[in-house]
Structure 1
């Protein structure tokens, strides 16, 4: 199979969008399962994967609005993972 460069970037963009949308579906289903609003750790990992792929795609497309929209999200997602890890550490 011979993919063009444009097709490859479309695959990257759509994969990022699927991961990014999947996090909302995951959060909704998990909250329904728990019968309360819950954000599972995997939400943050999907957020990182989705936003990173979408950022790469936005850079390739040279879309400054899209780049700005995706550039700072990962900082928030990594910070949430840090806070989760810190809260799971045993207290002294």
Structure 2
């Protein structure tokens, strides 16, 4: 067991908590693909649901925190840039919903 802990660089309870966060973050990040696939299968066409972008953002922020804590520049760079894309897509979804609202004349 100590070899496994050493392999994952776990020397304290804090390290174990951070490893747990990293695993949960990766799971959150991966769930977006499953959601996108299931929604697309149901619609019989490729669909990008809003949940895809929310899971991307949440997983990305969690992975960024993990990367910063572990001092991993590749994770920091990748997730930092990705978060910008996820936020922008959520902004576009929100703007699209605003323009899709019926006007007073239409209601």
TM-score above 0.5, yes or no: yes
Gaps of 5+ in 2: 1-11
| Residue 57 (structure 2) aligned to one of 48, 51, 56 | 48
Distance 2:29 2:87 in 1: 15
RCO higher in structure (CA 8 A, sep ≥6): 1
Distance 1:78 1:30 in 2: 21
Specify the alignment match of 1:34 in structure 2. Answer: 43
Question: TM-score, normalised on structure 1?
Answer: 0.91
The CA deviation string for residues 17-38 of structure 1, in whole angstroms up to 9 with x for no partner, is 0000000011011100110000
Specify the alignment match of 2:6 in structure 1. Answer: none
Q: Kindly report structure 1 stretches of 4+ aligned residues shifted beyond 4 Å.
A: none
- Residue 74 of structure 1 and its aligned partner are, at CA, apart by 1.1
CA RMSD of aligned residues (A): 1.5
Question: TM-score, normalised on structure 2?
Answer: 0.79
Gaps of 5+ in 1: none
Structure number with bigger Rg: 2
For this pair of structures, how many residues does the alignment match?
Answer: 90
Distance 1:48 1:73 in 2: 8
- Equivalences for 1:1-92 in 2 at 5 Å? 4-90=13-99
- Residue 68 of structure 1 and its aligned partner are, at CA, apart by 0.7
